[in-house]
Chains A and B, each alone.
Chain A
């Protein structure tokens, strides 16, 4: 079974700065494998180990997604090899365009049985790319996948939906977006990290892929969700009982109690 893990090299949220007005400054954030994608890496690795298959990492984005650190960070998480499409023309690409490029790259890899992805990216968090990718490929697409196990002629997929858990059998190719708790991703050790530099990486030029044109939307305006009238109240905790009384009084004043 050939499994592709589509992941994002995204800004690390630990480096993001949140201004008092709630706006997030990502400009100083270093890159990292997007926070929820390691679950997809792990699910793919477990599936490949059980079926004797191969796990191919795939990422697309601006030229900065292809650095030695970015390669090793992904390859140390259980991939057998990596395919990268890195081009500054993709720097501000929206989810639909990225999905179109990913689909072209999946076709160029060839004979792919399954594409796994994380639930959503940590910086954009639209959760749109995996399902758009499935549409581009003409494959079955499923979000909220909480488990994938091999079966005699494909995989058995478990989905955690608001109405309950559903179990399905898949025989054809599919794109699955796994939930953040589908599996516990392994922590890369020194051997994984040192071994990562020796794994094959294929850099595919954007122009070598057949990517259909996608009409981009124009953002007219943006606003952040209403956070209410937030007040910072600092309570002196030196005396626990009076601090508790003060906390209760503050919550009552705010009509939270």
Chain B
């Protein structure tokens, strides 16, 4: 088993290091977090350097890449302290590249190349989330048009997105697996209104309620096949869980490095606190967790590259990574003591952002629901 990097991975990570040093210093991230702004200039720089189209087919100007390399890049960006800085928008665009019309592909790739977030995913509702059968937002097709009504909530990046990738159901179809379709809805379409939700995590990504009141668009806003929306969405969910896990890994590594450095410098009772065994115990257990997360994430990516069936692997990986990474950040906070909770310290931001990953992209508990039934099925 080879744990080494390929020449290409090593060079790519070195390139990314150069880019992060220039375009994404801690001062930049702290400013974005403070002002609740998205990392647009960094995203643009990533696109200019070709990172923004990694994994896309060549016919769309992309460079095909393996999942392991993508995961390493997502980890590296997160290790800089930037939450959700790389990877997720690639997966979103893949939905459009795979199922969208040529017009939709051109539009979305153009926005992505400009460093913009092309669309927000309109899935969660006040009465529906992981239970998609409870979805209440409707899409009624009539005379070549389609009219939407309903409410979405906790929609990430809605304010900075040009479009909403809306999941809505046909009220005439009873089977929830066949009633949901995917649509690309302009955020400035008449009848779309938003309400920003203040939250204590993920400050660089806004979260909104979105109200759709008789929003009427041409049927060309449909993405893919009518009634296949949920199936289309699920295509990239496993990869999304993997990218989230890689993001958690990077953020936790950042928190660990900060805490270990602080422990080596902070003096109490005449000695650096890192010389006390209780602090060493924390650092040791944090290091073990990081090693476990890294192996879990890399192996899952390797399985994707080998085209092995993931079954419950993605859910197991996401659950473990989100929980263990938060535990690492929590212990990092403990090592920092009172300093850690003051506004402006990086460790406090990492702690906040990692907490969000225990429900973003699926809660810890729904991961049990997904993995647990698969485990039982495999042993029945």
Can you list the 4 inter-chain pairs with the closest CB atoms, starting with the nearest? A189-B50, A190-B63, A69-B7, A189-B49
Task: Scan residues 1-56 of chain B and give those whose CB is less than 8 A from a CB of chain A.
Answer: 7-8, 10-12, 14-16, 18-19, 22, 49-51, 54
Known: A76-B11, A238-B339. A190 touches B50 (CB 8 A): yes
Give, as a whole number of angstroms, the nearest-CB distance from B188 to chain A. Answer: 33
Cβ-defined contact, B11 with A69, below 8 A: yes
Task: Scan residues 255-277 of chain B and give those whose CB is less than 8 A from a CB of chain A.
Answer: 265-267
Cβ-defined contact, B18 with A187, below 8 A: yes
Give, as a whole number of angstroms, the nearest-CB distance from A76 to chain B. Answer: 6
A209 within 8 A of B: no
Give, as a whole number of angstroms, the nearest-CB distance from A71 to chain B. Answer: 9
Cβ-defined contact, B15 with A189, below 8 A: yes
A170 within 8 A of B: no
B295 within 8 A of A: no
Q: Which residues of B contact A191 (CB under 8 A)?
A: 50, 63
A68 within 8 A of B: yes
Q: Complex: how many Å from CA A186 to CA B45?
A: 11
Cβ-defined contact, A190 with B10, below 8 A: no
Q: Complex: how many Å from CA A69 to CA B7?
A: 5
Cβ-defined contact, B15 with A32, below 8 A: no
Give, as a whole number of angstroms, the nearest-CB distance from B259 to chain A. Answer: 15
Given contacts A72-B7, A186-B49, 5 further A-B contacts (CB under 8 A): A69-B11, A187-B22, A193-B12, A236-B266, A237-B339
Give, as a whole number of angstroms, the nearest-CB distance from A77 to chain B. Answer: 10
Cβ-defined contact, B7 with A188, below 8 A: no
**B contacts with A, residue count (CB < 8 A):** 22
**How would residues 183 to 217 of chain A score, 1 for a CB under 8 Å from any chain B CB and 0 otherwise?**
00011111111101000000000000000000000
Q: Would you give 10 A-B contacts (Cβ < 8 Å), ordered by A?
A: A72-B7, A72-B11, A186-B49, A188-B11, A190-B65, A192-B50, A193-B12, A194-B63, A236-B267, A238-B339
Partner of B265, one of A73, A76, A194, A234: A234
B interface residues (Cβ-Cβ under 8 A, vs A): 7-8, 10-12, 14-16, 18-19, 22, 49-51, 54, 63, 65, 265-267, 338-339
Partner of A193, one of B11, B18, B267: B11
Q: Which residues of A contact B267 (CB under 8 A)?
A: 234, 236
Most chain B CB atoms below 10 A, which of A68, A192, A237:
A192
Known: A188-B15, A234-B267. A193 touches B8 (CB 8 A): yes
**A contacts with B, residue count (CB < 8 A):** 20
Q: Which residues of A contact B49 (CB under 8 A)?
A: 186-189
Known: A187-B18, A234-B267, A238-B339. A69 touches B50 (CB 8 A): no
Known: A187-B19, A237-B339. A73 touches B11 (CB 8 A): yes
B337 closest partner in A (C-beta): A238
Q: Which residues of B contact A32 (CB under 8 A)?
A: 14
Q: Which residues of B contact A192 (CB under 8 A)?
A: 50
**How would residues 37 to 73 of chain A score, 1 for a CB under 8 Å from any chain B CB and 0 otherwise?**
0000000000000000000000000000000110011
B5 closest partner in A (C-beta): A69
Most chain A CB atoms below 10 A, which of B11, B14, B54, B338:
B11
Q: Complex: how many Å from CA A96 to CA B19?
A: 35
Q: Which residues of B contact A68 (CB under 8 A)?
A: 7
A interface residues (Cβ-Cβ under 8 A, vs B): 32, 68-69, 72-73, 76, 186-194, 196, 234, 236-238
Q: Which residues of B contact A189 (CB under 8 A)?
A: 15, 49-51, 63
Give, as a whole number of angstroms, the nearest-CB distance from B317 to chain A. Answer: 24
Q: Which residues of B contact A76 (CB under 8 A)?
A: 11, 15
Cβ-defined contact, B8 with A194, below 8 A: yes
Q: Which residues of B contact A196 (CB under 8 A)?
A: 11
Q: Which residues of A contact B51 (CB under 8 A)?
A: 189-190
Q: Which residues of A contact B7 (CB under 8 A)?
A: 68-69, 72
Q: Which residues of A contact B12 (CB under 8 A)?
A: 190, 193
Q: Which residues of A contact B18 (CB under 8 A)?
A: 187
Q: Which residues of A contact B19 (CB under 8 A)?
A: 187
Most chain B CB atoms below 10 A, which of A186, A189, A193, A238:
A189
Give, as a whole number of angstroms, the nearest-CB distance from A80 to chain B. Answer: 18
Cβ-defined contact, A187 with B15, below 8 A: yes
Q: Complex: how many Å from CA A193 to CA B6?
A: 12
A189 closest partner in B (C-beta): B50
Give, as a whole number of angstroms, the nearest-CB distance from B110 to chain A. Answer: 19
A185 closest partner in B (C-beta): B18
Q: Complex: how many Å from CA A194 to CA B267?
A: 48
A196 closest partner in B (C-beta): B11
Q: Which residues of A contact B8 (CB under 8 A)?
A: 72, 190, 193-194
Q: Complex: how many Å from CA A19 to CA B8?
A: 32
Q: Complex: how many Å from CA A188 to CA B16?
A: 9
A68 closest partner in B (C-beta): B7
Q: Which residues of B contact A69 (CB under 8 A)?
A: 7, 10-11
Q: Which residues of A contact B16 (CB under 8 A)?
A: 187
Cβ-defined contact, A193 with B339, below 8 A: no
Q: Which residues of B contact A73 (CB under 8 A)?
A: 11, 14
Q: Which residues of A contact B50 (CB under 8 A)?
A: 189-192
B55 closest partner in A (C-beta): A190
Q: Which residues of B contact A237 (CB under 8 A)?
A: 339
Q: Complex: how many Å from CA A238 to CA B338?
A: 8
A186 closest partner in B (C-beta): B49
Q: Complex: how many Å from CA A120 to CA B265?
A: 35
Q: Which residues of B contact A186 (CB under 8 A)?
A: 49
Q: Complex: how many Å from CA A189 to CA B12?
A: 7
A188 closest partner in B (C-beta): B15
Q: Complex: how many Å from CA A71 to CA B11?
A: 11
Q: Complex: how many Å from CA A150 to CA B47?
A: 29
Give, as a whole number of angstroms, the nearest-CB distance from B18 to chain A. Answer: 5
Most chain A CB atoms below 10 A, which of B16, B49, B339:
B49
